Chain A
Amino acid sequence: MATLRVRAGGALHLLAYDPDAGNSLRAILEPTDFRVRTACLGLGACGLCRVRVLAGEVGAPTAVERVQLEDALLAERVRLACQCRPVGEVEIEVLSLAPPSSWHVPPGGLASIGTLRWEADPAPSHAVPRPLGVAVDLGTSHISVALIDLIGARPLALRVGANPQRAHGADVMTRLVAAGDPDHARALASLARAAVGEALGEIARSEGIDLRRVRRVLVVGNTAMLSLLADRNHQRLLEPANWSLPIDCAPLETASWGREWGLAPEASIEVVAPLAGFVGSDLLAGVVAERMPELRTPGLLIDFGTNSEIALWSGDTLWVTATAGGPAFEASAGRDCIPAEAGAVVRVREGEGGALECDIIAGDEPRGLCGSGLVDLLACLLRQRRLGPRGRFSDGSERVEFEVNGRVLGLGWREVDALQRAKAAIGAGMKVLCGCAGVDPYALQRVLVAGLFGSHLDLDSAAAIGLLPRLPEGRVVLVGNTALAGACGLLLCADARRMLERVRACARFVNLGRMAAFDEAFLDQLFLQPMGSPP
């Protein structure tokens, strides 16, 4: 890793970056809070993303920079951030800061969508030139919006932001109960719609995209979020009898949504139907994204989230379930916990003399621990025997604290308890699902870990605390936001849509609440220790 020193708005920030990744300055700055102003896709077309290179090597000016910047500016080492690729230690000044926005490029940029395993269908002859698609993953805590080139099968832009419905409750149940009042239900639907509109507006502005080129919008999400978006059938989700039944979340009209979002009248907007009460189309899209039905050996997909969903492909059946993973891994575990965004401690490791060392996402001012940082921290504390497998600190204290870049971060036993519960719910869910399918968890050839939290997870730490099974190298894979990748696949080609329907037909929902084996597995999984070890 190398350090990029960034002067912006009168402050100096130190950013760790990987020079071998070959990213542009713009891409490196994008997940931070000191983004450079832009209005194109990073082709040098807008000329707005000006920075001054104060020290270090960023490559020679490109042809577009010579067009956009006068010689005098170039002589002062003013450059376009989208054209510069830093090598080694570099210092820059951001000359034009982007306005603050609640919509961010996630750390990892477009790569956090994961690999697109579907190609575009041949474009119909009547298509507009360069048609675009929009994939939306409507999550309980976060909303992700991707813009995709429908011909080139290439994602062009990605934004992630908080779901503003959070003001009506952090969890699904609270929001569903709130929606019992029709006025609240309308407000919740309108909040989600407005959020998608804002994300699209942000993309249009900062990437210079004309939203009238959008032909199709596809929304995937968990059942509760989709029913609240469409303002249909959400109250049915409060009755357990409906949890294993399909819930119709298709909106009654979408023309007004298109108008609100600034799309052309002919753009189609579709909500991908969920499978059942608590298994959403986000999970189904993930299964399609990873083409799980083509696996010849058993494979498991875990989509970590506020409501974690698990799918097990056994060769002919897709066993699916949902479990209250709790928002523990998505920043609600404690007062020093935040989502995986700028300023989050994403990695914790043991340094010299046992002191804890940390990596921070897109910045140098730690604001809190995100899920993967928490998992690392628990693993470190267990290894140092400062934390016991039952979730108590060995010295009897209520809380451990450590310092990162001058800020003290801490973790209390109640927060550890919340993480144990979340981990146990997911672990027990996996175990029960494997039991239903008759698959030994250690025989799984492929364990795919998806979700915002899943993209930063350290697999060793996850195995050490028993969040995931310890499998031979290469069998556990971090696959990014598969819900979004799947939605992109569904936008691109008919084969993906056919696979979705096949998946629906062979899916079997498992209600963990009705499984006696769940209780025992839950107790075993509460221990912070590798899966399968004796208590």
Chain B
Amino acid sequence: MNGPHSSGPSTEAAFQPLVDALLVGDHKLAAAVAQHLIEQGCSREQVVTDGLEHAMGLLDDKCTVESFNLLEIMLVGRAVSAVVRVLYPDGYAPTEGRATFVIATLEGDVHDLGKNIVRMVLAGKGFRVVDLGRDCPVDDLVGAAQREGAAAVLVSGLISPVVSQVRKLRPALRACGLAHVPVVAGGAALKQLRPEALDVDYVAENAFDGAHYLERHVSGAPTT
């Protein structure tokens, strides 16, 4: 985890209302509680660590996102975004997040719910996520990776025609001198395939699996 933080019972109690608001997906309450915590003198980092990350950890424990229905996941996502907006009204600056990832649903696929869940989980874990949306050309994604100094590139694909786009990613990164930047793929269509078939570094089973890989990668731990 990123740096020391107090985790005594009093802190836990202070952050519990935030964690609860996040998990039930009440975005207004979550934002209000986060605002209150900041006004009480909590640091932004503390809110991320003891609030957002703690909530994400609980979600992760509850046998992953798959035990939630789509509405519940989207509500948690909206609540996480609301808290991040309170903490960083202008978004995370490149220096503020733990690391920066760029994420997109590639050209040919407009289904981006899965991608949005990944963004939510990573934002909740304190990462800076640059989201290029859906139907995104490969070149735009590579350009963003270069501009933002991305520690990894994430792509999601629900439908199989997008596979050919994913395969273009690594050569395009290499051409821009970004051969060292790992590519992580996920989504219904992509997770049917092995990393070699997609020419990516990792194929995530779900959002948390992808997040664990990225945490290992960022911390320098072995990723395989």
Pick from A177, A240, A414, A526: contact of B74, CB under 8 Å: A526
Q: A199-212 toward B: CB 8 Å interface, digit per residue (1/0)?
A: 00000000000000
Q: A381-399 toward B: CB 8 Å interface, digit per residue (1/0)?
A: 0000000001110000000
Residues in B with CB closer than 8 Å to A523 are: 71, 74-75, 78
Distance of B117 from chain A, by nearest CB (Å): 13
**Among residues 508 to 527 in chain A, which have CB atoms less than 8 Å away from a CB atom of chain B?**
511-514, 523, 526-527
Q: Are A238 and B70 in contact (CB under 8 A)?
A: no
Pick from A173, A239, A240, A527: contact of B71, CB under 8 Å: A527
Pick from B72, B75, B160: contact of A177, CB under 8 Å: B160
Q: Are A420 and B161 in contact (CB under 8 A)?
A: no
Q: A175-186 toward B: CB 8 Å interface, digit per residue (1/0)?
A: 001000000000
Does B69 sit at the interface, judged by CB under 8 A?
Answer: yes
**Among residues 389 to 425 in chain A, which have CB atoms less than 8 Å away from a CB atom of chain B?**
390-392, 413-414, 416-417, 420-421
Does B108 sit at the interface, judged by CB under 8 A?
Answer: yes
Residues in B with CB closer than 8 Å to A417 are: 69-71
Distance of B134 from chain A, by nearest CB (Å): 6
Pick from B72, B78, B108: contact of A240, CB under 8 Å: B108
Task: Give the distance in Å from the alpha carbon of A512 to the alpha carbon of B107 in the complex.
Answer: 15
Q: Are B71 and A390 in contact (CB under 8 A)?
A: yes
Q: Are B135 and A416 in contact (CB under 8 A)?
A: no
Q: Are A240 and B69 CB-contacts (below 8 A) given A173-B159, A523-B78, A526-B74?
A: no
Q: Between A and B, how many residue pairs show CB distances below 8 Å?
A: 47
Distance of A228 from chain B, by nearest CB (Å): 16
- Which chain B residue has the least Cβ–Cβ distance from A392? B69
Task: Give the distance in Å from the alpha carbon of A236 to the alpha carbon of B134 in the complex.
Answer: 19
Residues in A with CB closer than 8 Å to B74 are: 523, 526
Q: Are B134 and A526 in contact (CB under 8 A)?
A: no
Task: Give the distance in Å from the alpha carbon of A414 to the alpha carbon of B69 in the complex.
Answer: 7
Q: Are B160 and A513 in contact (CB under 8 A)?
A: no
Q: Are B72 and A420 in contact (CB under 8 A)?
A: no
Does B197 sit at the interface, judged by CB under 8 A?
Answer: no
Residues in B with CB closer than 8 Å to A513 are: 110, 134-135
Distance of A6 from chain B, by nearest CB (Å): 42
Q: Are A240 and B160 CB-contacts (below 8 A) given A391-B71, A417-B69, A527-B71?
A: no
Task: Give the distance in Å from the alpha carbon of A390 to the alpha carbon of B69 in the complex.
Answer: 9
Task: Give the distance in Å from the alpha carbon of A523 to the alpha carbon of B79 in the complex.
Answer: 13
- Which chain A residue has the least Cβ–Cβ distance from B28? A535
Residues in B with CB closer than 8 Å to A512 are: 110
Distance of A227 from chain B, by nearest CB (Å): 15
Pick from A391, A511, A514: contact of B69, CB under 8 Å: A391
Pick from A177, A240, A526: contact of B70, CB under 8 Å: A526
Task: Give the distance in Å from the alpha carbon of A421 to the alpha carbon of B74 in the complex.
Answer: 12
Residues in A with CB closer than 8 Å to B135 are: 240, 513-514
Q: Are B107 and A240 in contact (CB under 8 A)?
A: yes
Chain A contact residues, majority secondary structure:
helix
Q: Are A526 and B71 in contact (CB under 8 A)?
A: yes
Q: Are B78 and A238 in contact (CB under 8 A)?
A: no
Distance of A417 from chain B, by nearest CB (Å): 4
Q: Are B108 and A239 in contact (CB under 8 A)?
A: yes
Residues in B with CB closer than 8 Å to A416 are: 69
- Which chain A residue has the least Cβ–Cβ distance from B160? A177
Task: Give the distance in Å from the alpha carbon of A527 to the alpha carbon of B75 in the complex.
Answer: 11
Task: Give the distance in Å from the alpha carbon of A390 to the alpha carbon of B76 in the complex.
Answer: 12
Q: A140-153 toward B: CB 8 Å interface, digit per residue (1/0)?
A: 00000000000000
Residues in A with CB closer than 8 Å to B110 are: 240, 511-514
Residues in A with CB closer than 8 Å to B70 are: 417, 420-421, 526
**Among residues 27 to 82 in chain B, which have CB atoms less than 8 Å away from a CB atom of chain A?**
69-72, 74-75, 78
Q: B140-155 toward A: CB 8 Å interface, digit per residue (1/0)?
A: 0000000000000000
Distance of A28 from chain B, by nearest CB (Å): 41
Distance of A519 from chain B, by nearest CB (Å): 8
Task: Give the distance in Å from the alpha carbon of A4 to the alpha carbon of B62 in the complex.
Answer: 53
Q: Are B108 and A420 in contact (CB under 8 A)?
A: no
Q: Are A420 and B159 in contact (CB under 8 A)?
A: no
Residues in A with CB closer than 8 Å to B160 are: 173, 177
Residues in A with CB closer than 8 Å to B134 are: 513
Distance of A280 from chain B, by nearest CB (Å): 18
- Which chain A residue has the least Cβ–Cβ distance from B161? A238
**Among residues 133 to 184 in chain A, which have CB atoms less than 8 Å away from a CB atom of chain B?**
173, 177
- Which chain B residue has the least Cβ–Cβ distance from A528? B71
Residues in A with CB closer than 8 Å to B161 are: 173, 177, 238-239
Task: Give the distance in Å from the alpha carbon of A421 to the alpha carbon of B107 in the complex.
Answer: 23
Distance of A147 from chain B, by nearest CB (Å): 38
Among the interface residues B69, B75, B109, which one has the most CB atoms of the partner chain A within 10 A? B69
Distance of B113 from chain A, by nearest CB (Å): 9
Task: Give the distance in Å from the alpha carbon of A92 to the alpha carbon of B212 in the complex.
Answer: 68
Task: Give the distance in Å from the alpha carbon of A511 to the alpha carbon of B134 in the complex.
Answer: 13
Task: Give the distance in Å from the alpha carbon of A390 to the alpha carbon of B74 in the complex.
Answer: 11
Q: Are A413 and B108 CB-contacts (below 8 A) given A177-B160, A238-B161, A514-B135?
A: no
Distance of B25 from chain A, by nearest CB (Å): 8
Task: Give the distance in Å from the alpha carbon of A64 to the alpha carbon of B5 in the complex.
Answer: 94
Residues in A with CB closer than 8 Å to B108 are: 238-240
- Which chain A residue has the least Cβ–Cβ distance from B133? A516
Residues in B with CB closer than 8 Å to A527 are: 71
Among the interface residues A414, A416, A420, A526, which one has the most CB atoms of the partner chain B within 10 A? A526
Q: B153-193 toward A: CB 8 Å interface, digit per residue (1/0)?
A: 00000011100000000000000000000000000000000
- Which chain B residue has the least Cβ–Cβ distance from A413? B69
Task: Give the distance in Å from the alpha carbon of A173 to the alpha carbon of B189 in the complex.
Answer: 12
Residues in A with CB closer than 8 Å to B75 are: 390, 523
7 smallest CB-CB distances across A and B, nearest first, come from A513-B110, A417-B69, A526-B71, A238-B161, A391-B69, A523-B74, A173-B159
A-B contact pairs, 21 of them (CB 8 A): A173-B160, A177-B160, A177-B161, A238-B108, A238-B161, A239-B108, A240-B109, A240-B135, A390-B71, A391-B69, A391-B71, A417-B69, A417-B70, A417-B71, A420-B70, A421-B70, A511-B110, A513-B110, A514-B135, A523-B71, A526-B71
- A interface vs B, CB < 8 Å? 173, 177, 238-240, 390-392, 413-414, 416-417, 420-421, 511-514, 523, 526-527
Contacts A177-B161, A240-B108, A240-B109 known; list 14 others, CB within 8 Å.
A173-B159, A173-B161, A238-B108, A239-B108, A239-B161, A240-B107, A391-B71, A417-B70, A513-B135, A514-B110, A514-B135, A523-B71, A523-B75, A523-B78
